[in-house]
Amino acid sequence: MVLWVFGYGSLIWNPGFDFDEKLIGYIKDYKRVFDLGCIDHRGTPEHPARTCTLEDSAGAICWGAAYCVRGGPEKEKLAMEYLEGRECEYDSKTLVQFYTETDTTKQSKPILTGVIVFTSTPDKVSNKYYLGPAPMEEMAMQIATASGPCGNNREYLFKLEKAMHDIEHEDEYVIELANEVRKHLDLPKEVKALLKPVVSRVSIKSHSQAHVSTLQRVFAS
C-alpha cells in the first residue's frame, strides 16, 4: 500500500514529514478559500486567524502538491499521525483524483486516485473552527492583525502566495487577498490604532501547550 496526500496550504512549502515523492498538480471541482479559523498556530481563541480550506466548486481546479509515502504500514502510520495532529482544525478527510497536465481544458485522466486531502465541514454548528465567508476587506483586516504562538496570520498568507508563484500556478484569489492585507499594513499608525482584530463569534477551546510547542517547531520554517 502507498499513501498519497494532497496539500494546498502550508504543506506545499513545508510538508514537515518524511516523504518519498512530490508531484505538483491539481484536483478538480474544489477552490481554495480562507474560511477556516485557526486558534493555536497563527491566531488565538479570542482573535482567530484565517487559514485556507477547500470549497466545492464545479469546474474549478485547485493547484498544490501531492506527497507519496512508501515503506510500509509503520511509515504511513507515522506520517498520518503527524498530519492529523498538524491539521487538527480540519474535521474530515476526502479522497480525490489528482492531475498533473498543464492544459486543464482537456478531458484529462487523473494520474492518481484515492489521494487524501484534509477538508472542513462548512457548517458553524457541526464544525467549531469554521468561520465562513466574509467580505474581502474584513478578511484582510483579520489576517493583518491576527497572530499566535507560531507567528502572525499574514505571514501564512504571504508564504502561500509565494509558494503558488514558485510552483508556477498562482492563485488569483490568494493574490487579491494578500494585496488587500498589504493595504491594511500600509495604513497610517493613527488609523491602525482604531482597527481591532475580528473577534470570533464561536467559542473555541485551545489545544494543549504540548501541541502548541509542536506546532511552533513545524511552522518556524
- Residue recorded with cell 489545544: 207
CA dihedral 175, 148, 134, 120 (to 10 degrees): 90
DSSP characters for 91-109?
Answer: -EEEEEEEB--S-TTS-PP
Cβ contact 48:200 at 8 Å: yes
- Residues carrying an active site annotation: 87
Cβ contact 54:26 at 8 Å: no
Distances (CA, A) of 177 to 1, 64, 124, 161, 190: 39, 18, 23, 9, 23
* Main-chain dihedrals φ then ψ at residue 173, nearest 5 degrees: -65, -45
CA torsion sign for 9, 119, 105, 173 is negative
CA dihedral 100, 26, 7, 22 (to 10 degrees): 10
Which among 7, 31, 51 is positioned nearest to 139, based on CA atoms? 51
